[in-house]
Amino acid sequence: MNADYLAHALTMFKAGTRRSDVMQPIAKTLSDADINALAHFFSAQNPPLAPAPAPATDLVTAGNTLAMHGGDNGVPACFSCHGENGRGNGQRFPGIAGEPDAFVVNRLHEFQVRAKADTPKPGSMTEVASKLTEEQIHAAAAFLSVTQPH
């Protein structure tokens, strides 16, 4: 994960402007120097993909198309924001390649819940998620789980 993204995310948890009951209290204990050191440490790691049963090939293919080109229901290409190969892009766009299948499905469902509670900001992940079908969510998750970020 990009160092600038990690530092920005930890700073927002610390300030309380990014929501998470788990991460906010942890981030509050971190100094700016801690945040900087952690961001650099984690951005330098290159973990292998999490071991998991191979997802269905047709799901992986559909997820690849969605990531590169988007969907005909108005879903933009995932990698247009998340960077080449989903490796992340700067402070705002996290790396998503290599994330485990279930993690991606959960995160996308969380964004969908948020989209139902409040009109999503244009260009936000919440808005993107509000357009995703359940099938697209599983396709994206399958593809990302077998994609190395480089």
81 binds ligand HEC (CB under 6 A): yes
Tallying the residues shown for the chain, one arrives at 150
Question: How far separated are the first and last CA of the chain, in Å rounded?
Answer: 11
Please answer whether residues 62 and 34 qualify as being in contact, where contact means their C-beta atoms are separated by less than 8 angstroms: no
Q: How far is the CB of 74 from ligand HEC (least distance, A)?
A: 11
Q: How far is the CB of 19 from ligand HEC (least distance, A)?
A: 9
* Degrees to nearest 5, angle at CA 87 with 69 and 90: 105
96 binds ligand HEC (CB under 6 A): yes
128 binds ligand HEC (CB under 6 A): yes
* Degrees to nearest 5, angle at CA 43 with 124 and 46: 110
59 binds ligand HEC (CB under 6 A): no
The span of 28-36, 43-51, 53-61, 123-131 binding ligand HEC (CB under 6 A) equals 123-131
78 binds ligand HEC (CB under 6 A): yes
